[in-house]
Structure 1
Amino acid sequence: MTETDGWVRTWGAAPQAPGAAVAALEPFADATLRQQVRISGGGRRVRVRFTNEYGTAPLTIGAARLAPAGTGHPLTFAGRPTVTVPPGAPILSDPLDLPLPALARLDISLYLPGHVASCTVHGRPVRAGWIAPGNAVLAPTPPADATPLPARALLAAVEVLPDGPATTVVVLGDSITDGFGSSPDADHSWPDRLAERAAQTGRAVHVVNQGISGNRLLNGGHGDAALARFDRDVLATPGLGHVVLAIGLGDLAISYAPRGDDSPLAGFLTMFPGGPVTADDVIAGYRQLTARAREHGVRVCAATLTPYERDDMFSSGGETARTAVNAWIRGSGAFDAVLDFDAVWRDPERPARTRDGFHADDVHGNDAGYRALADSIDLSLFR
């Protein structure tokens, strides 16, 4: 193994374009951004992937710092403390020799001296962050003039060099994967809980959450469609061994949702372009992702689509399509494993809806619901 081999991704947030679909940052200049992440698995070296992939102009990083457990370490780029990232591009920091345990929390700071008009984001911050005027990368706590960050900003991934063989599991999904409905700043999405279970058993399994709230398999709207972002968000992942496909419910729910000018959904549905899709279309999309993953030697798991009867988008046609997709996921033999999330969440008396105690709203889980999904997964699948 050379010094450039063996890297694995241990945390991620799928990049999105700023706009109406996400809580975008207003243009700013001469400011520091600080964000906290919790990695999944540990390692002896670490590097950070920043992103200007939806930026419209070059992005200058004037200083960057990584601070675990109250300490601080400057990040460099080709040995220099500053770098300019072209629009449309990501950038990796230089590796930092820093032993990190599984589930370590990291504060990552960026000083941006120039004008940032279009900031690549991830729509759900999950852990609190802040933005403050000037260069505050050394500040131990938020300055008095700091304000909260409404979204992840310019931060795409953390990668580590583990002490031995390890694998990364990437979860490609929508808001249920993203953890919408779970307690804020608590790391209670189901991929977070899966990472905790792996760490507790000593498995060298790193879990990366590439969910985007409102994302769909076949069409864009809230983030690029899963088919469009699959190479970047999944196949380009260092150490990738497994992908979990947990997407498609939004495609069907939106396609079959009640429509009409007087519908309460009329304004909401305008954020989702593209024509209606069928169960067969979603199945074809799954086949595409599976074929592309297997070209890279990646094992593929699929999660069944969870109930949504309480939601305004529910319809009998959508439920028929959801049931058909789930039957295919369970019985087709197309996947290396099936995660039957529908069976975990459905109400035995009303299988089209989520059982009481597991839902935060009409679609999404609460902390208990997400924990139940993660706890239902056989960790031996990820070898």
Structure 2
Amino acid sequence: MTETDNACSWIRSWGASPQAAHDGLGSLDDHPPLADVTLRQVVRVGGGGRRVRIRFTNEFGTGPLTIGAAQLALAAPGGAVRAGSERVLTFSGATAVTVPAGAPVLSDPVDMSLPALAELSISLYLPERVETCTCHDPALDTGWTIPGDAVAAPTLPENAGDLPVRALISAVESVPDAPAKAIVVLGDSRTDGAGSTPDTHHSWPELLAERLETGYVVNQGISGNRMLNDGIGAAALARFDRDVLATPGLGCVVLSIGANDIAISFAPRDDGSLADFLKMFPGAPVTTDDVIAGHRQLIARARERGVRVYGTTIAPFEGSELYTPAGENARQTVNEWIRTGGAFDAVLDFDTVWRDAAHPGRIRDDFHAGDHLHGSDAGYRALADSVDLSLFS
């Protein structure tokens, strides 16, 4: 098989949408500068394969990013790597690379037997200070910083520190053993897995990948993200081409977005802590017609690529500090269109799964994380279990 043939068969098996550090939740605000340091991060892929490459990102960087060395391995507990699985990553044959500001870079492929649902350890050495870190905030998988070049360290040294974001990595791609298609989920914090137990892979897209067994499910949720306006991460309409349509092996898109557009637009306006929170979300309030039009745009752009488009209804949020009756009415209006408008190839009715039968504006107590907004592990499991797997066959 030629390299061209291999390129045609690449499929994305893991992803994390890139953000600027200042457009996230602020997890890096008090973190020491990233300079002369090794980052070790663990990701769990959906489907496996026989060749692997990593997409590193400097897409929100304000200057060049130098990667002095990088290594891929199967992860072992506690930040260690599985002996014999280590692969040195190169870039056009070189062990180091400088990534221009605003750009990603793909590593050269490495031969690797990668099982479905495998945990990968990705280590990269940063010899120079990273002025602006492109990241995904927060990371629900523990990552570490190690002083100096420790890319090849088999275990974590005692001086390792915590890394609170997914830093400088945006995708894992593989060549599958059999034809396959990627399922990309575009969403907000409820897609990202906010409220779930860290290091357990309990976001609903990851749990869906488990049900599919060899499912290439790519989670492109951003906590706090909106469809129509930037704020926490670029708006879904703005990042759709990069995070979804450019996905190798794309076969299906699940749109699970719009909840924050509604919640922020109809949130209570006061002078308290909520007012400070809302400052993170610029732009004028939007209407239900705006949210529906945004969905139609995303659907049209996906269908141009010949992929199926599924939509999820918006789950309840009464009991959270963002709730208002007007916001609830808007949620119901958009959900009615999602269910009956005929715009999607299929609808995943997450509202019905999560809502309290006795109080439909609220999430069931056992399905939220204590904030009446985000899922618990059980809540995300219920969403994943509700999905008809035949939609992806």
Normalised to the residue count of structure 1, the TM-score between the two structures is: 0.97
Q: Distance in 2 between matches of 1:21 and 1:355?
A: 28
Which residue of 2 is the match for residue 19 of structure 1? 22
Quote the offset at 1:20 in angstroms. 6.0
Instruction: Report percent identity of matched pairs.
Output: 64
1:77-97 C-alpha deviation (Å, 9 max, x unpaired): 111111110000000011111
1:5 partner SS:
helix
Q: Distance in 1 between matches of 2:156 and 2:201?
A: 21
Higher share in helix: 2
Q: Distance in 1 between matches of 2:176 and 2:34?
A: 37
CA contact (8 A) 2:24 2:138 kept: no
Deviation beyond 4 Å, 4+ runs, structure 1:
none
Q: Which range moves more in the overlay, 16-25 or 45-54?
A: 16-25
Q: Distance in 2 between matches of 1:88 and 1:304?
A: 34
Match of 1:364 among 366, 374, 392: 374
Q: Does 1:6 align with 2:16?
A: no
Q: Distance in 2 between matches of 1:20 and 1:56?
A: 14
CA contact (8 A) 2:24 2:136 kept: no
**Aligned partner letter, 1:38:** R
1:133-190 C-alpha deviation (Å, 9 max, x unpaired): 1100111222222110010100000001001110100000000000000001110110
Q: Which range moves more in the overlay, 324-333 or 355-364?
A: 355-364
Which residue of 2 is the match for residue 134 of structure 1? 148
Q: Distance in 2 between matches of 1:139 and 1:77?
A: 21
Superposition map of 1:189-208 within 5 A: 189-199=203-213, 204-208=214-218
Which residue of 2 is the match for residue 215 of structure 1? 225
Which residue of 2 is the match for residue 339 of structure 1? 348
Quote the offset at 1:28 in angstroms. 2.5
The verdict on how the C-alpha distance between 1:30 and 1:264 changes in structure 2, with shifts beyond 3 A counting, is closer
Structure 1: runs of 5+ lacking an equivalent? none
Q: Distance in 2 between matches of 1:312 and 1:82?
A: 48
Quote the offset at 1:341 in angstroms. 0.0
Which residue of 1 is the match for residue 78 of structure 2? none
Which residue of 2 is the match for residue 307 of structure 1? 316
Which residue of 2 is the match for residue 352 of structure 1? 361
Match of 1:377 among 371, 381, 387: 387
Superposition map of 1:84-99 within 5 A: 84-99=98-113
**Aligned partner letter, 2:197:** S
Structure 2: runs of 5+ lacking an equivalent? 76-81
**Aligned partner letter, 1:73:** R
Q: Distance in 2 between matches of 1:9 and 1:19?
A: 27
Which residue of 2 is the match for residue 293 of structure 1? 302
Which residue of 2 is the match for residue 83 of structure 1? 97
Which residue of 2 is the match for residue 326 of structure 1? 335
1:294-337 C-alpha deviation (Å, 9 max, x unpaired): 00111100000000001111011100000000000000110001
Quote the offset at 1:374 in angstroms. 0.4
Which residue of 1 is the match for residue 269 of structure 2? 259
Match of 1:39 among 26, 40, 45: 45
CA contact (8 A) 2:91 2:108 kept: yes
Superposition map of 1:162-241 within 5 A: 162-199=176-213, 204-241=214-251
Q: Distance in 1 between matches of 2:188 and 2:296?
A: 18
Match of 1:72 among 76, 86, 99: 86
Q: Distance in 1 between matches of 2:158 and 2:378?
A: 36
CA contact (8 A) 1:27 1:118 kept: no
Which residue of 2 is the match for residue 143 of structure 1? 157
Q: Does 1:57 align with 2:63?
A: yes
Q: Does 1:243 align with 2:253?
A: yes
1:169 partner SS:
strand
Q: Distance in 1 between matches of 2:293 and 2:32?
A: 39
Q: Distance in 1 between matches of 2:215 and 2:154?
A: 32
CA contact (8 A) 2:45 2:117 kept: yes
Q: Distance in 2 between matches of 1:225 and 1:299?
A: 21
Q: Distance in 1 between matches of 2:298 and 2:164?
A: 31
Normalised to the residue count of structure 2, the TM-score between the two structures is: 0.95
Quote the offset at 1:26 in angstroms. 4.1
Which residue of 1 is the match for residue 126 of structure 2? 112
Q: Distance in 2 between matches of 1:285 and 1:28?
A: 37
Q: Distance in 2 between matches of 1:4 and 1:192?
A: 25
